[in-house]
Amino acid sequence: MVKDVNIAVIYYSATGNVHRLAEAVAEGAVKAGAHVRVHRVSELAPDTAIDANPDWRAHVDQTRDVVPEARLDDLAWADGYAFGSPTRFGMVAAQLKQFLDQAGGLWLNGVLTDKPATAFTSSINRHGGQETTLVSLYNLFAHWGSIIVPPGYTDPVLYEAGGNPYGVSWPTGQPPELPNDQTLRAAQYQGQRLADITRRLMPKESTR
């Protein structure tokens, strides 16, 4: 028999788009029978920057006491990872990058090795650096020795959500809109796929 699967969904979201994707990824993993932690990384931006954008301030206030902050212990606990970040000039947001940069001790001790990992993102424009943001996270997974689990084109729902084989991505447009139903279904599928593959790769426990 195979033991229970633990999935950590760790993300940064400024105005709520990546937060909603993270919830959908977690829903898919839960549907696949996984135990899931959905945790946000800490905010680094000063209040002056946050207050300049009412949507940013609203999201920070809404999630501060609701979504737990991610800890390195989450990485040790999990058997598989899903990381989410808005696109920042084609790269990962500094808030998530700072958290990941602290995982050196876990990496050195092999804690992150052989664990499946996937990623998701959001930007204002469809061609605003979504794929490069996801690939930058996959470069990190390669250094960790993790097993990269992109959604590819493995289900029709991915085509309906824009067909990004690297990971679910949402173009918010301007004025910004939260992810639509097709994108949320694709995110759920990505979480389900991560949990299923994680379970398939885990060693079976002895029944003796």
The CATH number covering residue 145 comes to 3.40.50.360
Total tally of structural domains belonging to the chain: 1
> Which pLDDT value is given to residue 2?
55
DSSP for 145-199 reads: T-EE---TT-SHHHHHTT--TTS-EEE-TTTT----HHHHHHHHHHHHHHHHHHH
Parallel/antiparallel/unpaired status of strands 80-88 and 91-92: antiparallel
Give the residue-averaged pLDDT of 98-113.
97
Question: Please, are residues 191 and 28 in contact by the beta-carbon 8 Å criterion?
Answer: yes
Give the chain's mean pLDDT.
Answer: 94
Q: Is residue 137 part of a domain?
A: yes
Cα 170 to Cα 183: distance, rounded to the nearest angstrom = 7
Residue 84 belongs to domain spanning: 6-201
Does residue 1 lie in a domain region? no
What per-residue confidence (pLDDT) applies to 205?
A: 62
Kindly state the helix (H) or strand (E) to which residue 50 belongs, with its residue range.
helix 47-51
> Would 208 be classed as within a structural domain?
no
Q: What value does the mean pLDDT take over residues 184-208?
A: 87
pLDDT > 60? residue 99: yes
Residue 110 CB neighbours (<10 A): 10
Instruction: Identify any residues that bridge with 40 across adjacent strands, giving them in sequence order.
Output: 11, 69
